[in-house]
């Protein structure tokens, strides 16, 4: 029998901007529950959560960690997450399986950019949320200001359950307006003494108590009636109402905390036990087909893989949540995505880097297993015959791209294997082998994300690599009409080669009129893989070129469009009309007309006012108001066009269009300008003409490279 049934398993995720104290709070929870005998610290690099060598080296969380604790008859699974936006994939995957979020807010800094961004994810998942105002022992802490900011950002559904009697170095008392009592802590924290609320605090406490009751009652009709009848709700009724409101993402209770001094963590854990919902109290999980899957330990077995990591000498460790049934060691489950049957040879409870073997896990619980051969993040495993598939985690698009190379020749295959392993562990890191740019590209979330990838490649895969600036995927097009012809003639004994093509090219655009002076016999529209179109017209009269040779002419044109005449970039948005030519009854063949078509297109392109296009990205930067000027100044130095500034709570969102060629190093530049207080995202907007001087420079560089290659 499992030690805890579904109703007594609570899954929480610790969230917050970097430096808000998530890992320290997790350490408090483990210490208070007696799972560890000594509370570790970030400074001493000995916390249970930040066990990874890289995290200890950098002094902050990089990976989400699964921990668990036992508190007064309940098991609490704790997922500690990193605070930097570069590692948002770790946050999103944790939110996918958590039933309650605990958002830590630094009482010194208030609501930070990272808090806002994480909140967007919680809104998407509709995760029940608790706020914990941390670092109240700091002399610059301001609880009231933090609450005002929280209400401004997240709405008036933010309700105070606790507030500090005093902040700063003298912080040692928390007034709880749900229980209407005061907790008095010793200097070293731990279990507090319960005391009456002092007379000078009673008016404030009673006002907040009434505010809390009214907020609870307004979200539950039956409690509203009781409140009207009695003018009060008792503690159990308030807990019942809070749970109901949290499940529906309607109320967000606020607690007070000093994780560093271990003051307030026990009360938060007690609230999670008593009020925070368990998985079977949340709305049933829906499959991709829309079927409701009840969180029932007696139901059909079904698990969802939310994270994988590769550990030296161990192999792949897959983390999962049990959404239905009871999972037992040795059980065989079917992977809905691959159809492969996987055997769960071992099950583990996880405590940072410690693995405790167990025999079974019930619905609602979270655990790990080893060596699933064909199972990855976002896969659903279930008993045979059920065909359950749970919704996938949607990871954010990358914000940054670099090219990667090995320092030693001949290690390309090893690099490919290392990148594949990285991709398995981190779905937010994308790898692309670009045939266009002839580079291996890494698409990631930012500089810190990239630094972690490099560390893993060098330390775990023993490869020396370097990152280089990626080439820019320019495009080429034309701005006016041009005619050209080319005769291909070759005689080398026996059958020769002969083909002559006359063609016209002109810029293509939606709604372009048909050629007025040509006799159109056929028209093919080709949507190009790299964007834009090629529209190919047959305007041959009198059989000057046999119709069977036109596909070869098209093939020659397309080949040159894949290697544009100016810089070797792809060409796009061109109309080609083949209107004349000559054949030879013996020597004409497909290769002759392919070459003639290619060369005629190349000549016409050079005469048609050719233009290089560059990729333009839409950029959104979220930053504090006092840093907007610095952010805009930096963008203007990058040829950006600022389109507007919108307000988002206490932050400003700068919206701009900027050439991709100018975005190299932007992630580190923005972090430097704003001391890490700004975030950005970008997406391809389209292609626009490069400035004349840049076009000349690009053409010269390409010509020089081409000469060197043929030298």
pLDDT in tens, 401-435: 999 999 999 999 999 999 999 999 999 999 999 99
The confidence score (pLDDT) of residue 48 equals 83
The confidence score (pLDDT) of residue 492 equals 72
pLDDT in tens, 156-205: 999 999 999 999 999 999 999 999 999 999 988 889 999 999 999 999 99
To which CATH superfamily is domain 285-382 assigned? Answer: Translation factors (2.40.30.10)
Residue with tokens 């320019």: 474
The confidence score (pLDDT) of residue 55 equals 81
Cα–Cα distances (Å) from 269 to 31, 266, 499, in that order, read 12, 5, 83
Topology of domain 612-693, per CATH? Alpha-Beta Plaits (3.30.70)
Output the six-digit token pair for 384: 């045979």
| Residue range(s) occupied by CATH 3.40.50.300 in the chain | 6-215+250-281
The confidence score (pLDDT) of residue 160 equals 98
pTM: predicted TM-score of the whole model, two decimal places: 0.86
| Residue range(s) occupied by CATH 3.30.70.240 in the chain | 612-693
Q: How far apart are CA 221 and CA 241, in angstroms?
A: 10
Cα–Cα distances (Å) from 33 to 18, 92, 269, 271, in that order, read 25, 27, 9, 14
CB 283 within 8 A of CB 299: no
φ and ψ at 707, to 5 degrees?
A: -65, -40
| Residue range(s) occupied by CATH 2.40.30.10 in the chain | 285-382
Q: At what angle do helices 113-125 and 143-154 cross, to 10 degrees?
A: 50
The confidence score (pLDDT) of residue 710 equals 45
Q: How far apart are CA 512 and CA 502, in angstroms?
A: 21
Q: Could you tell me the sign of the dihedral formed by the alpha carbons of 444, 316, 41, 252, in that order?
A: positive
| Residue range(s) occupied by CATH 3.30.70.870 in the chain | 400-468
Q: How far apart are CA 529 and CA 377, in angstroms?
A: 29
Q: How far apart are CA 390 and CA 392, in angstroms?
A: 6
The confidence score (pLDDT) of residue 510 equals 94
The confidence score (pLDDT) of residue 711 equals 43
Beta-bridge partners for 535: 525, 575
The confidence score (pLDDT) of residue 709 equals 53
Residue segments in the chain with a per-residue pLDDT below the cut of 70:
1-2, 313, 493, 649, 706-711
Beta-bridge partners for 76: 10, 69
Domain 6-215+250-281 has CATH 3.40.1800.10: no
Q: What is the DSSP letter of 550?
A: H
Q: How far apart are CA 94 and CA 647, in angstroms?
A: 29
CB 161 within 8 A of CB 47: no
The dotted CATH code for 481-603 is: 3.30.230.10
Q: How far apart are CA 169 and CA 139, in angstroms?
A: 6
Q: How far apart are CA 499 and CA 494, in angstroms?
A: 16
| Residue range(s) occupied by CATH 3.30.230.10 in the chain | 481-603
Output the six-digit token pair for 698: 């690009």
Which residue in 202, 389, 175 sits closest to 264, CA to CA? 175
The confidence score (pLDDT) of residue 60 equals 82
Q: Which CATH architecture best describes the domain 400-468?
A: 2-Layer Sandwich (3.30)
The confidence score (pLDDT) of residue 161 equals 98
């Amino acid at each position: 029998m499992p030690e805890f049934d579904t109703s007594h398993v609570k899954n929480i995720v610790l969230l917050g901007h970097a430096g808000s104290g998530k890992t320290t709070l997790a350490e408090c929870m483990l210490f208070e529950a007696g799972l560890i005998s000594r509370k570790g610290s970030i400074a001493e690099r000995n916390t249970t959560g930040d066990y990874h060598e890289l995290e200890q080296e950098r002094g902050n969380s990089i990976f989400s960690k699964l921990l668990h604790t036992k508190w007064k008859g309940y098991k609490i699974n704790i997922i500690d997450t990193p605070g930097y936006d570069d590692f948002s994939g770790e946050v999103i995957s944790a939110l996918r399986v958590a039933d309650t979020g605990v958002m830590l807010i630094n009482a010194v800094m208030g609501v930070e950019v990272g808090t806002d961004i994480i909140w967007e994810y919680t809104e998407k998942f509709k995760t029940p949320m608790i706020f914990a105002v941390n670092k109240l022992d700091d002399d610059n802490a301001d609880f009231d200001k933090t609450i005002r900011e929280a209400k401004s950002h997240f709405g008036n559904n933010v309700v105070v359950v606790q507030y500090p009697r005093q902040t700063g170095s003298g912080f040692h008392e928390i007034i709880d307006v749900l229980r209407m009592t005061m907790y008095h802590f010793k200097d070293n924290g731990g279990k507090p003494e319960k005391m009456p609320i002092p007379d000078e605090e009673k008016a404030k406490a009673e006002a907040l108590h009434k505010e809390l009751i009214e907020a609870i009652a307004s979200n539950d009709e039956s409690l509203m009636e009781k409140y009207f009848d009695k003018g009060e709700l008792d503690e159990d009724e308030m807990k019942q109402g809070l749970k109901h409101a949290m499940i529906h993402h309607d109320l967000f209770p606020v607690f007070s905390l000093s994780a560093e001094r271990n003051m307030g963590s026990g009360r938060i854990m007690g609230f999670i036990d008593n009020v925070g919902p368990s998985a079977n109290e949340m709305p049933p999980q829906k499959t991709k087909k829309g079927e409701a899957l009840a969180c029932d330990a007696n139901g059909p077995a079904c698990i969802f893989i939310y994270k994988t990591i590769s550990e030296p000498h161990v192999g792949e460790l897959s983390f999962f949540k049990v959404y239905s049934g009871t999972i037992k060691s040795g059980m065989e489950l079917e992977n809905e995505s691959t159809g492969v049957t996987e055997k769960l040879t071992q099950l583990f409870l996880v405590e940072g880097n410690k693995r405790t073997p167990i025999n079974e896990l019930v619905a609602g619980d979270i655990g790990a297993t080893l060596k699933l051969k064909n199972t990855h993040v976002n896969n659903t495993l279930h008993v045979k015959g059920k065909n359950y598939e749970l919704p996938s985690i949607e990871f954010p698009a990358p914000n940054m791209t670099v090219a990667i190379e090995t320092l030693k020749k001949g290690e390309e295959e090893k690099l490919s294997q290392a990148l594949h392993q990285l991709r398995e562990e981190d779905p937010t890191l994308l790898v692309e082998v670009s045939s266009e740019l002839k580079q291996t590209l890494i698409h990631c979330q930012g500089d810190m994300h990239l630094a972690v990838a490099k560390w893993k490649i060098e330390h775990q895969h023993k490869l020396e690599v370097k990152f280089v600036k990626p080439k820019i995927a320019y495009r080429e097009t034309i701005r006016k009409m041009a005619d050209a012809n080319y005769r291909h003639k070759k005689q080398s004994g026996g059958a020769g080669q002969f083909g002559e093509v006359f063609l016209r090219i002109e810029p293509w655009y939606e709604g372009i009129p048909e050629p007025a002076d040509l006799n159109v016999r056929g028209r093919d529209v080709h949507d190009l893989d790299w964007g834009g179109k090629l529209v190919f017209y047959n305007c041959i009269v009198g059989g000057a070129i046999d119709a069977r040779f036109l596909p070869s002419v098209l093939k020659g044109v397309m080949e040159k469009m894949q290697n544009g005449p100016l810089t070797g970039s792809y060409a796009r948005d061109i109309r080609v009309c083949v209107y004349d030519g000559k054949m030879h009854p013996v020597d004409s063949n497909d290769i002759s007309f392919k070459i003639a078509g290619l060369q005629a297109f190349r000549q016409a392109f050079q005469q048609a006012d050719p233009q290089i296009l560059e990729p333009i990205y839409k950029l959104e930067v979220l930053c504090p108001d006092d840093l907007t000027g610095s952010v805009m100044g930096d963008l203007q130095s990058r040829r950006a066009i600022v389109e507007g500034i919108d307000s988002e709570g206490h932050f400003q969102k700068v919206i701009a269009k900027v050439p991709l060629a100018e975005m190299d190093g932007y992630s580190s530049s923005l972090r430097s300008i704003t001391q890490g207080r700004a975030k950005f995202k970008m997406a391809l907007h389209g292609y626009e003409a490069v400035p004349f001087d840049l076009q000349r420079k690009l053409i010269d560089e390409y010509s020089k490279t081409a000469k060197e290659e043929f030298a």
